[in-house]
Amino acid sequence: MVSSARPKLITAVAVVAALGTLAACGGGSGPSGADGDGKQTYTFWDPYPQFDASSQWGKLVQQCGTEAGVQVKRTAYDTTDLGNKALLAAQQGNAPDVMLVDNPVVSTLVEAGILNKVTDVGLKTDAVQKNILGAGTIDGDAYGTPIGANTLALYYNKKVLDAAGVEPASITDWDSLTAALKKVKGKGKKGITFSAINTEEGSFQFLPWFWGAGGDLTKLDSAEGRAALDLWKQWVDSGYAPKSVLQNTQTTSWQEFATGDYAFAENGTWQLGNAEKAGFDYGVIPIPGRDGGAAPVPTGGEFVTIPVQKDTARYAASSKITNCLTSAGNVLKTDTTLTYVAPTDSVQKQQVAQNEKLKPWVEAVAAARGRTSGGLGTTYPTISEPMWTAVQSTLSGGKSPEDALAAAQDAADKGTN
């Protein structure tokens, strides 16, 4: 008899692969026996291959294992590989004890029956901001706790804006932003760069404008959705944004901004280090909503989760490891290393006290929402791909915003039904 979980796992592998292209890496094994010191060995997987065992992060993982009275065997994968290996490990009955995963993948792993609810394994989430926790919440239950969050905002080049007579504080809605771009172009400089590539990165960057118009992901072809796509098309057609946005990743978009020729770049928290090295004065403002205020932006970042194990006695130590990693003091260190905004108000205040330049990012995260929130869960990828396809076909001149989004809605309906 074939297990009913197996088809879900096979489908989930495809969903994880679709989401993995966004990720703003070794081999692993399931739970094992005691080491030479008599301590039980617990497996821990994360998507941070850039940090080896000698890094602050690597040392923290080991420290939390020691405090839990166990030995931790850590393995780092790239984001997509980690999600796929988690699904395969679950099929084989050797999932890791603790796993750090990209937040949109949580709902996929939950549907596949891999993750425990936080309430069942003693994880602490009371202090976590609800909108950040929402990215890992399904049907009212959280299935992990966030290590931190990153998101999008607008970087600006102060010299370019000064030359055009534009005050950053004057940009409060779409009209004022477009007027600023017109002034910048009139002074011989370039307006705004972003990523509209035909991957999840393109959807990630389009979402603030889509949501900022009041768009609903279940209604891609709404008037609000058309308004957002019209805005981007207007910018490209008017020369306020370059044609290269069609191929730009968030990295290549940043490289354009780093030339010093652009007034604005839509990009993420993770570029703060590069901004300091850019060689010109910069600032950050929230992405404006259509009619004012900060637009909702998509939440990036990872959740610490505890996969289902046959031996439920292992959960006690796994919970200790997880609560250690997400304690206030440790999150402050980790999020400083990762350039993340902390998921709790108290730690956010400490971050801003240490680095005033994080203030606009804290504000942006406060307005953020999970891509899979609102009950979308594993249907998000079947909506995201038609959405980025619509953006591509419109900006390339192949279809009008209306026709492109009508086709996108039709494709999304077929994918979700």
CB 185 within 8 A of CB 239: yes
Residues in the chain, pLDDT under 50: 1-7, 9-10, 21, 23-32
CATH for 152-297+376-416 is 3.40.190.10
Give pLDDT, residue 151.
Answer: 93
Residue 5 amino acid letter: A
Give pLDDT, residue 15.
Answer: 54
**Rg from Cα positions in the chain:** 22
Structure tokens at 9: 């796992």
Alpha carbon separation from 408 to 21, 248, 249, 260, 317 (Å, rounded): 20, 21, 22, 36, 46
Residue 413 amino acid letter: D
Q: Which residues of 353-363 are buried (b: 16+ CB within 10 A; e: fewer)?
A: eeeeebebbbb
Sign of the torsion angle spanned by Cα atoms 411, 412, 413, 417:
positive
> Domain residue spans in the chain?
5-149+299-366, 152-297+376-416
Query: Distance between CA atoms of 96 and 74, rounded to whole angstroms?
Result: 10
Name the residue among 87, 69, 64, 67 with its Cα closest to residue 77.
87
Structure tokens at 22: 């966004």
Residue 12 amino acid letter: A
Burial of 34 (0-12, 13-18, 19+ CB in 10 A): exposed
Backbone angles phi, psi at 87, to 5 degrees: -65, -40
302: β partners: 102
Give pLDDT, residue 35.
Answer: 54
Report the C-alpha dihedral over residues 172, 245, 271, 359, rounded to 10 degrees.
10
Query: Distance between CA atoms of 230 and 325, rounded to whole angstroms?
Result: 44
Q: Are strands 190-193 and 262-268 parallel, antiparallel or unpaired?
A: parallel
Give pLDDT, residue 319.
Answer: 98
Under DSSP, the state recorded for 314 is: G
Under DSSP, the state recorded for 177 is: H
The helices-and-strands tally (H runs, E runs) of the chain is 18, 11
Q: What HEC string does 252-291 produce?
A: HHHHHHCCCCEEEEEEEHHHHHHHHCCCCCEEEECCECCC
Query: Distance between CA atoms of 312 and 314, rounded to whole angstroms?
Result: 5
355 membership: H or E segment, kind and range: none
Which pLDDT tens digit goes with each residue over 156-193? Answer: 999 999 999 999 999 999 999 999 999 999 999 999 99
Using DSSP's 3-state secondary structure scheme, residue 137 falls into: strand
Give pLDDT, residue 92.
Answer: 87
DSSP string, 195-220: ---SSHHHHHHHHHHHHHTT--TT-T
CA atoms within 13 A on the CB side of 119: 4
Under DSSP, the state recorded for 295 is: P
Cβ partners under 8 Å of residue 123, min gap 6: 142, 144, 145, 304, 306, 319, 322, 323
Give pLDDT, residue 38.
Answer: 64
Q: Is 5-149+299-366's fold the same as 152-297+376-416's?
A: yes
CB 97 within 8 A of CB 42: yes
CB 135 within 8 A of CB 304: no
Give pLDDT, residue 282.
Answer: 97
Give pLDDT, residue 150.
Answer: 92
**In CATH, which of 3.90.78.10, 3.40.190.10, 3.40.50.2300, 3.40.50.11390 is domain 5-149+299-366?**
3.40.190.10
Alpha carbon separation from 152 to 21, 51, 139, 300 (Å, rounded): 17, 24, 27, 9
Give pLDDT, residue 78.
Answer: 83
Query: Distance between CA atoms of 417 and 348, rounded to whole angstroms?
Result: 41
Give pLDDT, residue 374.
Answer: 83
Number of residues that this document lists for the chain: 417
Alpha carbon separation from 161 to 156, 317, 327, 395, 411 (Å, rounded): 8, 54, 41, 26, 41
Which pLDDT tens digit goes with each residue over 302-337? Answer: 999 999 999 999 999 999 999 999 999 999 999 988
75: β partners: 45
Cβ atoms < 10 Å from Cβ of 60: 17
